[in-house]
Amino acid sequence: MKALLHAIHANLLWILLGTYALASCAPAPGLALRKPTLGALSVGGGTLDLAVPTLLLALLLFNASLGASASELRRLLRTPKVLGVGLAANIALPLAFTLLASVALASWHNPDELQALLVGLALVSSMPIAGSSTAWSQNADGNLALSLSLVLASTLASPLSTPLALDTIANVTSGHYSKDLHDLAAGDAQLFLAVAVVAPTILGMGVHRLVGKERLSRVMPGIKLLNIAVLLVLNYSNASVSLPRLVQNPDWDLLLLVFAVVATLCALAFYAGHLVAKITKASPPERVSMIFGLGMTNNGSGLVLATTALADYPNVLLTIVAYNIIQQIAAAIFDHVSLRRQTPRAGSLPRTAAGQTS
């Protein structure tokens, strides 16, 4: 099972691209998966449809958080400077980029495409740091404690930071796009994050504490395989909403615009991690963790939120799918470069899996 997991992780980018290709050609099962629901949950001013994608996302995050204990929260206090600056940059950079993009692209020939792009960037910018950044960081000998702290802190802060980002970007959009962003910020996004993101994360950490690390370690390979399956099904179902239309009637200038913009944002986010590490005088392992943390956002959550609240806007979904593809490619490139730099020279001691000399 461990060998299978290693093979899957080594080819995860290609497998993800395969799910997008499948969604483009055969979307019917993915769309059918979105129809069953357990009803709607209404709290305060927000309403959340407990449909299959939302429940799968909650399961995904619950399973992922089984690998982290509540004691990880105490690690937040060990690196307050690096962590604080990193979180501030994670919130501020994509927000500032989106605001600048709204000005720089104001003359785009199709205003509706521009509005959809800005809304997609709003969802990318407002999501917490991706849990997958910890796996990439660990593989590149980063600081796992800092990686987990970045993910946990951004996740716990998301019910506050996400509405702030959505409201801010809503002010530079117009018409129904602006209204929908304000509506999301007013309650739906907060409820979604609280129920489908924060609660499963905390619950998974609580189960870790109750069951114990040793007992969980026996079933973790199976849980990881289950999570990969859930991730692929979730990506396939979400992509089935938007990609078929784009394949049937491709808009090449829109595709070029979207991928150029998200690639620029992703490159800046990865580079920002390097700058934050340099400013805070972080150690090399902390630098690796910061680069992956700032470069990768939880687009699974963004896609589920978009496909439940903004399913009528396929170009919004395109932006999130594009960023997800680009960030995985960027992570793979940085991981490859990082591992090449760490390859021992002739006569040097070999590096162990923990990144130390043996």
Q: Give the integer Cα–Cα distance in Å for 237 and 189.
A: 20
The pLDDT value given to residue 71: 59
Tokens 């602006």 found at: 178
Residue 75 lies in a domain: yes
User: In sequence order, what are the beta bridge partners of 41?
Assistant: 48
Residue 353 lies in a domain: no
Residue 167 lies in a domain: yes
Tokens 């796992």 found at: 144
Q: What angle do CA 243, 249, 251 make, to 5 degrees?
A: 90
As a whole number of Å, the end-to-end CA separation of the chain is 26
Q: Give the integer Cα–Cα distance in Å for 126 and 184.
A: 12
Provide the 10 A C-beta neighbour count for residue 309. Answer: 21
Contact 267, 123 (CB under 8 A): no
Give which of 314, 319, 304, 299 is closest to 242, Cα–Cα.
Answer: 314
SS (H, E, C) 92-141: HHHHHHHHHHHHHCCCCCCHHHHHHHHHHHHHHHHCCECCHHHHHHHHCC
Contact 81, 152 (CB under 8 A): no
Residue 59 lies in a domain: yes
Give which of 197, 52, 199 is closest to 126, Cα–Cα.
Answer: 197
Quick one: tokens of 71? 């004691």
Determine the structural domain holding residue 44 and report its residue range. Answer: 13-341
The pLDDT value given to residue 121: 93
Q: Give the integer Cα–Cα distance in Å for 102 and 150.
A: 28
Residue 7 lies in a domain: no
Tokens 């290693």 found at: 6
Q: Give the integer Cα–Cα distance in Å for 48 and 42.
A: 6
Residue 213 lies in a domain: yes
Output the CA–CA distances (angstroms, integers) from residue 48 to 40, 195, 196, 277, 305, in the order listed: 5, 9, 10, 38, 10
Contact 200, 55 (CB under 8 A): no
Q: Give the integer Cα–Cα distance in Å for 202 and 204.
A: 5
Contact 77, 90 (CB under 8 A): no
- pLDDT digit of tens for each residue in the chain (358 aa)? 777 877 777 777 788 788 888 988 888 998 888 888 887 777 766 677 788 888 888 887 787 777 665 555 565 566 577 888 888 998 899 999 999 999 999 999 999 999 999 999 999 988 888 877 876 776 677 776 787 778 878 888 888 888 888 899 999 998 888 988 888 888 777 787 788 778 887 888 788 888 887 788 788 778 878 877 887 888 788 778 777 877 777 788 999 999 999 999 999 999 999 999 899 888 888 888 899 889 888 877 787 777 777 777 878 888 988 898 888 788 878 876 765 555 443 443 333 333 333 2
The pLDDT value given to residue 54: 82
Contact 163, 190 (CB under 8 A): yes
Residue 128 lies in a domain: yes
Quick one: tokens of 108? 């785009």
Identify the H or E element spanning 41: strand 37-43
Q: Give the integer Cα–Cα distance in Å for 342 and 202.
A: 35
Specify the 3-state DSSP secondary structure of 235: helix
The pLDDT value given to residue 39: 79
Is the alpha carbon torsion for 320, 258, 287, 341 positive or negative? positive
**pTM (two decimals):** 0.78
Tokens 């809503």 found at: 170
Contacts of 192 (CB under 8 A, 6+ apart): 46, 48, 54, 301, 304, 305, 308, 309
Q: Give the integer Cα–Cα distance in Å for 279 and 284.
A: 13
CATH number at residue 263: 1.20.1530.20
Q: How many domains, the chain? A: 1
Contact 67, 208 (CB under 8 A): yes
Residue 127 lies in a domain: yes
